[in-house]
Structure 1
C-alpha cells in the first residue's frame, strides 16, 4: 500500500491543478465569458473545498460527507451574499474576500455547486484509490 504521504502529495497536486483551473476560468475572456467566469469557476470552487477538506479529514466515511458539507456551507455563503453589513462589505471589497465569499447572489450558482460537489466526490474516490493502490 502507498503511504499517507503519497496520498497527501496527490491531494496537494490536485489542489494546485484545481486552483489554477479555477483562476483561469475566473479570468477567462472570450466566448461565454460570464458563464466561465461565474459558473464554471464555481464548479472548481466546490472541488477545491472538497480537496482541502480531504487533506485534513480522511476517515473512512469522509468521502461521502465532505461534498455534502461543502455544498451546505457554500450554499450558506451564497445566501450570505444577500446580506450587506459593513464588515462583510469590507471583506468583499478585497480580491480574496470576493473570491471566497462572492458578492452577488445567483440562483444559477446552485446547480453548478451540485456539479462541483459531485465532481469533487468523484475526485475524492480516485484519490482514495490512489492512496490504497498497491505498488507495481
Structure 2
C-alpha cells in the first residue's frame, strides 16, 4: 500500500502543472484546451487526492462521487450570489469553482473520471497485494 500511495502522490503532484498548463495553454485549439480539455485533469486531480487520503475506498465510488461533486459545482456556476462572485473573481476561485456553466463539460468530467479510474485501478492491481 505504501508504494501505491507514493505513486498516487507523485501523479497527483504532476497533475497540478499539467492542469495549469492546459488551463493557460496558448496555441492551436486554445479555447477548447483551456475550457474543456483541462477538465479531464481537474477530475483526475480530485480522484487522486481522495485516493491519497482514503486509499482503501472503492475506486468506482471515488470516480462516481468526484463526478457528482464536480457536476454540482458546474451547476453552481448558474448561481451568482455576491459571495461566490467574489470567490470566482480570484484565480484560485476560477480554477476551483469555474465561472460559466457549459453542458459540454460533463463529457470531459466523465472522461477524466474514467481515465483516472483506469490509471488507479491499474496501479492498485500492480502495487497492492490482496
**CA-to-partner distance for each residue in 1:66-122, whole Å, 9 max, x for gaps?**
000000000000000000001101111111111000000001101010100100111
Bigger-Rg structure (1/2):
1
**Any idea what SS the aligned residue of 2:65 has?**
helix
Structure 1 residue aligned with 2:120: 124
Following superposition, the deviation at residue 129 of structure 1 comes to: 2.2
**CA-to-partner distance for each residue in 1:21-53, whole Å, 9 max, x for gaps?**
111111110110000001111000000001001
In the alignment, does 2:87 pair up with 1:91?
A: yes
Counterpart Cα distance in 2 of 1:71 and 1:106: 15
Following superposition, the deviation at residue 131 of structure 1 comes to: 2.4
Structure 2 residue aligned with 1:109: 105
Q: Considering only aligned residues, what root-mean-square deviation do their CA atoms show, in Å?
A: 1.2
| TM-score, with length taken from structure 2 | 0.94
Bigger relative contact order (CA 8 A; separation at least 6) = 1
**CA-to-partner distance for each residue in 1:46-69, whole Å, 9 max, x for gaps?**
00001001011222x521100000
**Any idea what SS the aligned residue of 2:119 has?**
helix
In the alignment, does 2:38 pair up with 1:41?
A: yes
Structure 2 residue aligned with 1:5: 2
**Structure 1 moving runs of 4+ over 2 Å:** none
Structure 2 residue ranges without an equivalent (≥5): none
Aligned residue runs from structure 1 range 77-88, under 5 A: 77-88=73-84
Structure 2 residue aligned with 1:14: 11
Following superposition, the deviation at residue 127 of structure 1 comes to: 2.3
